[in-house]
Amino acid sequence: MMTKDRYLYISTFLVLVLALFSCNEDRIGEDDTGSVSGTVVASGTNVPLANVRIATQPISSTVFTDSLGTFLIENVPVGDYAVEARVEDFITDFEPTTVVANATVNVVFELEVSTANNRPPTSPQLLTPAENEVLQGVEATFSWTSEDPDGDPIEYAIELRNDQNDDVLRFEEITDTTYTYSPLILGAKYVWQVTATDNINDPVLSPLGTFSVVMAPVDNRILFTRNIEGNNVIFSADEDGSEFQLTPSDKNSFRPVRNVAANRIAFLQADGAEVDVFTMNRDGSDTRKITSSVKPAGFNLNEINISWPENSTKVYFPVLDKLYRINTTGQGLELVYQTTDGSLISEVDAHEFDNVIALKTNNLSGYNTSIIIIDNAGNLLDTLFSNMDGAVSGLELSVDNNQVLYTYDVSEFQNAAYRRLDSRVFIYNRTTDVATEISGAKENGTNDLQVKYSPNEAEVILMNTSNDGISIQNIVTLEVDFIDNDGQRVVFKENAFMPDWE
């Protein structure tokens, strides 16, 4: 039988044991802490930011991000916090978070670049056109300099005004320090200004620049083409050599032909692999495309030409084995002629009033050449020669249609690149069936190509170049001398080709 004292002793012992266990359970849950992890990146780019100071409010611990922009704060007491991310050149950010026991919460910071110490770009300094420069064409290339002291990307805008109208042209979102614009107004005076911004600070302005454009030339009878930064560009020139740019340098334009009666110029313009026929005024204005579904084509687009007969409203152009003509309005497309043997038509010279059209044909490689004469209805009138070895190019009838001007590679060399070794100028007399060379003192190792008559036919104009196919091309005038073939040769334009003289 248990005594009263013994009962009290056991009861007291059990209470102590229970109390001991209760205390131990409290100690197990007493470590009420968690962790905060996260990543810090630059806003917009998501580039990780290293050495960013990470701290909490209320204060627990302070850590720094590693090279990957990550961090970890351990043993943070449970509760609500504001986590701070701070680093130089970025705006300090706070992210709220709640720390729970025995867990890790994740926080992501996207820090904005601080502009407090950012500096604007320097004021643009205008380079071209030079102050008060008179441009010799309807195209202007604007250039300037500006720098950003913090290396920020700069965006530019150009404002352009003239004294002929109230138009204010503005070209925006320019990332380069050059910009080309056309067409300008002939005879106009222009004022231009460049704005620069880093999209952080207020934009800065350049000084005002002024330039003018020459009046339209009235005596430029010679046309030619020049390559500018990969594009063919058409120019006109007077007989003293003063030149004027007609087509913009961002377009690939070539093979100009002037029609005196219409006071306009027809030419070819390429857009990628396709070519169209265009016309324009003699000053380069009022450009019109006249071909659409049927476009000029041949074995080599650089070796085909077009013809615009005097007092005619039609332009003639080749399309592989066919010859077409079309009104300068873009209407009335007609098939004039198709070769009977599948050979390709490359060059044409039409004298509509005289019912005579000269054609040069060749195979897919540019060889096996023939020169034939047809009438306006496509009937064959004459064959000057056929299946010639070597390259033949350049084709023009004399004013009386009795002579045919062309060039021929007397070496008779043929290869896949259509290289010519010794191309010379010839005039074929249709009455005597005799071809006479007139190249005279042509330098050895060069080619005479792309030949045309002068208006009085006492001279010809042509392109001369080394037969290596890569050297500079020059336009040369040559006196026609049938007696001793030593007519005077004069270089008219350097770095130029595809002449026309009307």
Same domain for 363 and 431, yes or no, is yes
Residue 250 lies in a domain: no
And the tokens for 465?
Answer: 């170049």
Same domain for 398 and 420, yes or no, is yes
Domain of 8, in residue numbers: 1-30
And the tokens for 5?
Answer: 């004292």
Same domain for 23 and 132, yes or no, is no
CATH number (domain holding residue 138) = 2.60.40.10
How would you classify the pairing of strands 104-111 and 33-42? parallel
| Domain count of the fold of the chain | 4
Same domain for 82 and 154, yes or no, is no
The pLDDT value given to residue 3: 42
Are 62 and 84 contacting, i.e. CB atoms less than 8 angstroms apart? no
CATH number (domain holding residue 407) = 2.120.10.30
Same domain for 171 and 106, yes or no, is no
Residue 241 lies in a domain: no
Q: What is the pLDDT of residues 419-475, one digit of tens each?
A: 999 999 999 999 999 999 999 889 999 999 999 999 999 999 999 999 998 999 999
The pLDDT value given to residue 115: 77
Low-confidence ranges of the chain (pLDDT < 50): 1-30
**What contacts 74, CB < 8 A, 6 or more positions away?**
33, 35, 61
How far apart (Å, rounded) are the C-alpha atoms in residues 266 and 260?
11
Same domain for 106 and 180, yes or no, is no
Same domain for 354 and 377, yes or no, is yes
Question: What number of residues does the chain have?
Answer: 502
Same domain for 295 and 159, yes or no, is no
The pLDDT value given to residue 89: 84
Same domain for 42 and 22, yes or no, is no
Same domain for 373 and 483, yes or no, is yes
Whether omega before 499 lies within 30 degrees of 0, making that bond cis, reads no
Q: What is the pLDDT of residues 475-498, one digit of tens each?
A: 999 999 877 777 789 999 999 999
Residue 390 lies in a domain: yes
Residue 246 lies in a domain: no
Same domain for 405 and 270, yes or no, is yes
CATH number (domain holding residue 104) = 2.60.40.1120
Q: What is the pLDDT of residues 125-171, one digit of tens each?
A: 999 999 999 998 889 999 999 999 989 999 999 999 999 999 999 99
Are 395 and 372 contacting, i.e. CB atoms less than 8 angstroms apart? no
Q: To which H or E segment does residue 28 belong?
A: helix 4-28
pTM: predicted TM-score of the whole model, two decimal places? 0.70
How far apart (Å, rounded) are the C-alpha atoms in residues 241 and 243?
6
Same domain for 53 and 148, yes or no, is no
* 78 to 33, 97, 101, 290, 345: CA distances (angstroms): 5, 10, 6, 80, 89
The pLDDT value given to residue 168: 95
